[in-house]
């Protein structure tokens, strides 16, 4: 079985805010879907956290390496793409785009074999997993109304991030966390994301250590991106001094970039994003390395419904991946599937047992949000 075509579709019209200093607009394209077609007619889907223009340009480089390749050897084919692009866009657009291709190749392999892909990665350690409702911080009144609404939808875990946290003063930081904790109550999980990958982030080590102590008073489950993404030495120090678990690494790509952060024990939890880190194969190698150092892995999932579906499969096979990120208020998560996501009474999502990534993409919705017709044809 051979790969005969690859398509892309940039999502626009309903792009949610990202919390970035240069804020996204509804028509900003930062998530691009991929479909890979085989000569047997089976189509796999993937998703990439980057713009359609960058994916289009990357595919021009990758297509000659991909078209005509075997459709039943995802690990080898993706590694071939990585190995043959050391000189072109490595770690950037090329690595991002390979992520989407790799997801689609695993989806194909699962569909051919009739298995959910989590089974290839170690089996089914869990059948359900807790999604945490991820939302941007806002002034307490608005944020609390959002949290109350999400709690009403059945979520039991939450993460508030970005907004003005770390950007005004420590009193404001505490006010945000205190009011969020009050809104969700003491029985729900709460994590806090400073958003240190924002442009010109100024939160330094001293601020981060003090903030971590404040967060402990509100029983915060982890403190995410408290420093700039590349500040290895300061993250090591922060982790030593913080009473709450320290997390990060959502913007890193390639397994090699994670090595020093893991071996230096800079984090309690690392959060690779499967839609840009290099794909599922890369994610798994990072997760295996982290496990050797007793570092937990919780996927970064501020992307699309396909990303969430892959994270569910990964969580079925990775012991420490006990939560997945659910980006709230995004049509690209809530509205691309043929069936809606359903939380059970305990706030858990079932991990699909359907073949591949276990997700049915609605091609009409792809057309609605990208203008691309016949994405799965
Ligand atoms: Mg984050």
Tokens for 282?
């890369």
Distance (angstroms) between ligand 1 centre and the Cα of 103 equals 22
pLDDT, position 122:
86
* Coil vs helix vs strand at 185: coil
- Average pLDDT for 4-28: 95
Kindly report, residue by residue over 132-187, the tens digit of the pLDDT: 999 999 999 999 999 999 999 999 999 999 999 999 999 999 999 999 999 999 99
Percent of the chain with pLDDT over 90: 98
- Average pLDDT for 13-37: 95
| Mean pLDDT estimate for the chain | 97
- Kindly report the three-state secondary structure assignment for every residue of 307-355: HHHHHHHHHHHCCCCCEEEEECCCHHHHCCECCCCCECCCCCEECCCCC
User: What separation in angstroms does the CA of 47 have from each of 11, 120, 274?
Assistant: 10, 20, 9
Distance (angstroms) between ligand 1 centre and the Cα of 92 equals 19
CA end-to-end span of the chain, whole Å?
A: 17
Distance (angstroms) between ligand 1 centre and the Cα of 163 equals 12
Distance (angstroms) between ligand 1 centre and the Cα of 109 equals 31
pLDDT at 7 over 90: yes
Distance (angstroms) between ligand 1 centre and the Cα of 81 equals 28
Distance (angstroms) between ligand 1 centre and the Cα of 112 equals 35
Distance (angstroms) between ligand 1 centre and the Cα of 224 equals 6
Distance (angstroms) between ligand 1 centre and the Cα of 4 equals 36
Kindly report, residue by residue over 256-290, the tens digit of the pLDDT: 999 999 999 999 999 999 999 999 999 999 999 99
Distance (angstroms) between ligand 1 centre and the Cα of 299 equals 10
Distance (angstroms) between ligand 1 centre and the Cα of 170 equals 20
Kindly report, residue by residue over 223-263, the tens digit of the pLDDT: 999 999 999 999 999 999 999 999 999 999 999 999 999 99
pLDDT, position 124:
95
pLDDT, position 102:
98
Distance (angstroms) between ligand 1 centre and the Cα of 271 equals 8
Alpha carbon 26 to its chain's center:
20
Tokens for 48?
């990439």
Distance (angstroms) between ligand 1 centre and the Cα of 273 equals 10
Distance (angstroms) between ligand 1 centre and the Cα of 226 equals 10
* Nearest C-alpha neighbor of 18 from the set 303, 228, 234, 254: 303
| Burial grade of 86 (CB within 10 A; 0-12, 13-18, 19 or more) | exposed
Residue with tokens 């499967």: 274
User: What separation in angstroms does the CA of 101 have from each of 53, 95, 352, 370?
Assistant: 16, 10, 21, 18
User: What separation in angstroms does the CA of 169 have from each of 165, 166, 172, 175?
Assistant: 8, 7, 5, 10
pLDDT, position 111:
97
Distance (angstroms) between ligand 1 centre and the Cα of 250 equals 6
Q: Mind listing the domains of the chain with CATH numbers?
A: 3-115+361-370 (3.30.390.10), 119-350 (3.20.20.120)
Distance (angstroms) between ligand 1 centre and the Cα of 247 equals 9
């Amino acid at each position: 079985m051979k790969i005969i075509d690859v398509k892309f579709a940039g999502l626009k019209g309903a792009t949610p805010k990202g919390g970035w200093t240069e804020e996204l607009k509804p028509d900003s394209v930062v998530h691009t879907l991929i479909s890979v077609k085989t000569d047997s007619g089976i189509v796999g889907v993937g998703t990439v956290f980057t713009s359609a223009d960058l994916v289009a340009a990357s595919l021009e480089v990758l297509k000659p390496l991909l078209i005509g390749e075997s459709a039943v050897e995802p690990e080898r084919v993706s590694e071939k793409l990585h190995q043959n692009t050391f000189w072109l866009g490595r770690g950037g657009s090329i690595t991002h785009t390979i992520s989407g291709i790799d997801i689609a190749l695993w989806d194909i392999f699962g569909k051919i074999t009739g298995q959910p892909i989590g089974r290839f990665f170690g089996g089914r350690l869990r059948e359900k997993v807790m999604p945490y409702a991820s939302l941007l911080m806002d002034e307490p009144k608005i944020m609390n109304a959002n949290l109350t609404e999400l709690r009403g939808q059945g979520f039991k875990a939450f993460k508030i991030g970005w907004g003005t946290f770390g950007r005004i003063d420590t009193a404001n930081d505490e006010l945000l966390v205190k009011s969020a904790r009050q809104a969700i109550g003491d029985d729900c999980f709460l994590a806090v994301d400073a958003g240190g990958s924002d442009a010109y982030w100024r939160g330094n080590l001293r601020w981060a250590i003090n903030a971590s102590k404040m967060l402990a008073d509100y029983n915060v489950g982890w403190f995410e991106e408290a420093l700039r993404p590349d500040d290895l030495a300061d993250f090591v120090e922060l982790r030593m001094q913080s009473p709450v678990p320290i997390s990060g690494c959502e913007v890193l790509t390639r397994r090699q970039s994670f090595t020093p952060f893991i071996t230096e024990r800079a984090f309690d939890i690392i959060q690779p994003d499967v839609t840009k880190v290099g794909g599922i194969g890369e994610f798994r190698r990072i997760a295996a390395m982290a496990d050797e150092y007793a570092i937990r892995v919780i996927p970064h999932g501020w992307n699309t419904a396909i990303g969430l579906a892959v994270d569910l499969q990964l969580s079925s096979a990775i012991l420490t991946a006990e939560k997945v990120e659910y980006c709230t208020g995004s049509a690209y998560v809530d509205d691309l599937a043929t069936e809606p996501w359903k939380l059970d009474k305990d706030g858990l999502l079932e991990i699909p047992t359907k073949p591949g990534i276990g997700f049915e993409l609605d091609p009409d919705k792809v057309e609605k949000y990208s203008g691309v017709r016949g994405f799965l044809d």
